[in-house]
Amino acid sequence: MRKLKNWDKKTWLSSKNYILEFNKFLNKKVKFNKNTTILDIGCGRANIISALQKKYKFKNQPIGIDIVANKDVKKNIIFKKINALKYLKNKGKYDVILIKQTIHFFSKSNLNRLLSLSKKSLNNKGKILIFSLKTNNNKIPCFKKMRKNLEKSLKRDEVLFKIIKKNLKKITYTNFNFKVSISKQKYVRMIKERYISCLLNMSNKEIQFGISEIKSKYKNQIKFTDTLKCICYRK
């Protein structure tokens, strides 16, 4: 599979409003202060932890890791291009480990390893926060082939959720909802850039056919609610 590079590049996920609302949600889960230490697994361009650093001015800069090193990763955090399982063996300790829209890239066995290593990497009363797409009645705008791939991926996520529950045991569930309003033109660009993993293995012909379907299916301004399931574990 190709690497996912554009999920947070000029999408609603990189907008100031999204980052503000997401970090407000995080603030309800974590009592941030200058001493809080953060690890973001699968950080992308590190928009989330960069905004947190600007607000709280942590003594230790948040650390973001990813297997893709984008040129425009935020500069006020520490970025490392590295596999999460390898990095977690370094035995660093964190108050918050953020795993946002990343679990579907792990096999079942590697997800178990990720969770076990993450628990060991938490400080006392530290938290693991896992965010993943809502699996039932998901509202992301899709063309037919895209929807089929997405539903297949979401069914696999349900299996991964069971692994998470079994491994972490004491967890709580909440949802983060963000109301998206995006022009059809911008959304078509996102599809061309394969902003979501269910588009990665499609041929150019399938993408172009899908774009034609999107153009005929949706109005000039596309509106929907993007919902993430949040799984919270506290040590």
- What is the biggest distance separating any 2 CA atoms in the chain, rounded to whole angstroms? 53
Domain presence at residue 64:
yes
Query: What are 100-111's pLDDT values in tens digits?
Result: 999 999 999 999
Domain presence at residue 6:
no
Residue 208, by phi and psi: left (phi above 0), alpha (psi -120 to 50) or beta?
A: alpha
Domain presence at residue 5:
no
Domain presence at residue 2:
no
Query: What are 70-82's pLDDT values in tens digits?
Result: 999 999 999 999 9
For residue 171, give every residue at least 6 positions away whose Cβ sits within 8 Å of its Cβ, in sequence order, or none. Answer: 164, 165, 231, 232, 233
* SS3 category, 231: strand
Kindly indicate the confidence band of residue 9, based on its pLDDT and cuts at 50, 70 and 90: confident
Domain presence at residue 200:
yes
* SS3 category, 87: helix
Query: What are 161-179's pLDDT values in tens digits?
Result: 999 999 999 999 999 999 9
Query: What are 62-71's pLDDT values in tens digits?
Result: 999 999 999 9
Residue 119's Cβ-side half-sphere holds a number of Cα atoms within 13 Å equal to 15
What pLDDT score does 2 carry? 65
Domain presence at residue 215:
yes
DSSP class of residue 219?
Answer: -
Domain presence at residue 206:
yes
Query: How many domains is the chain partitioned into structurally?
Result: 1
Domain presence at residue 7:
no
Query: What are 118-132's pLDDT values in tens digits?
Result: 999 999 999 999 999
CA angle 104, 14, 212 (to 5 degrees): 75
Kindly state the helix (H) or strand (E) to which residue 207 belongs, with its residue range. helix 204-217
What is the rounded distance in angstroms from the CA atom of residue 49 to the CA atom of residue 169?
A: 27
CB contact at 8 A, 97 and 74: no
What percent of the chain has pLDDT above 70?
A: 99
CATH number at residue 181: 3.40.50.150
Query: What are 25-51's pLDDT values in tens digits?
Result: 999 999 999 999 999 999 999 999 999
Which residues constitute the domain of residue 180? 12-234
